[in-house]
Copies of this chain bind each other. A is one copy, B any other.
Amino acid sequence: MSSESQSAEDINRRANEKSAKRKEARDKMMAEKTREKGLVIIHTGKGKGKSTAAFGMVMRCIGHGMKVGVVQFIKGAWNTGERTVLERFPDLCEIKAIGEGFTWETQNRERDIMFSRQAWDEACRMMDDPSFKLVLMDELNICLRYDYLPLDEVIAKLTAKRPDLHVIITGRNAKDELIEIADLVTEMTMIKHPFRDGVKAQQGIEF
């Protein structure tokens, strides 16, 4: 056997030993995780993927036969791509799209507040209905940031929710008080974006 192939064998052997140790550590770690709990999940940050990952989680739950509620707080309507897919599962997904575009499109704070309240009422109804296993409150963080909804009221409702219900809240600038009561918080950070090269929003990517 040449020294070169011995060397490759060594690399593989060492890698396999390391891998075995990682598996052992992981198995031990996972064995300690025994609780089930309905989670408060937050996707925040300036990067892309906050709503998209939430939508992915919605689809995964639907795949498991779990009923999902979706409330769109700011955008007037979900992207046609998402809607087309969700509408294929009418028994497992209820969508409420409230409001009429991003706040910088409406230029009417009073109306934004009114729509935020309507959306929150819908979200509360879904949270109270035990047939829903997951409720997505898309862009709720924006409403909280602009004080369209009282933070105290939202926190109180979330901390008193059914213990088996998962909720996902998306949007930039999640409030610290919300992060405090959340179970799973992910920040999407933009490292690179094609807009800076003059590339426009494209079907399937941005909408």
Shortest C-beta distance, A92 to chain B (Å), equals 10
- The reply to whether A200 and B35 contact each other, CB–CB distance below 8 Å, is yes
Shortest C-beta distance, A155 to chain B (Å), equals 16
- The reply to whether B57 and A54 contact each other, CB–CB distance below 8 Å, is no
Chain B residues in 8 Å Cβ range of A41: 205
Q: How many copies does the complex hold?
A: 2
Shortest C-beta distance, A75 to chain B (Å), equals 14
Chain B residues in 8 Å Cβ range of A53: 48-49, 52-53, 56, 188
Interface membership of A16, Cβ < 8 A: yes
Which of B11, B16, B19, B85 sits near A59, CB closer than 8 Å? Answer: B85
Counting chain A residues whose Cβ lies within 8 A of the other chain, the interface size class is 35 or more
Chain B residues in 8 Å Cβ range of A146: 15
Q: How far is the CA of A207 from the CA of B60 in the complex (A)?
A: 8
Residue of B nearest to A103 (CB): B19
Residue of B nearest to A62 (CB): B85
Chain B residues in 8 Å Cβ range of A19: 103-104, 106-107, 109
- The reply to whether B81 and A63 contact each other, CB–CB distance below 8 Å, is yes
Chain B residues in 8 Å Cβ range of A166: 202, 204-205
Which of B57, B108, B194 sits near A52, CB closer than 8 Å? Answer: B57
The 8 closest A-B pairs by CB, nearest first: A56-B56, A63-B81, A49-B53, A60-B81, A53-B53, A63-B84, A185-B191, A52-B56
Residues in chain A within 8 A of chain B (CB atoms): 11-12, 15-16, 19-20, 22-23, 26, 29-30, 32-37, 39, 41-45, 47-49, 51-57, 59-64, 66, 79-85, 88, 103-110, 133-134, 146, 166, 179, 182-195, 197-205, 207
9 residue pairs bridging A and B, Cβ less than 8 Å apart: A15-B146, A19-B103, A20-B107, A23-B105, A49-B188, A53-B53, A54-B56, A61-B204, A64-B80
Known interface pairs A63-B81, A189-B189; 14 further A-B residue pairs with C-beta atoms within 8 A, sorted by A's residue number:
A20-B107, A30-B201, A34-B198, A37-B194, A39-B199, A48-B186, A49-B49, A52-B57, A60-B79, A60-B81, A61-B81, A64-B203, A166-B202, A179-B191
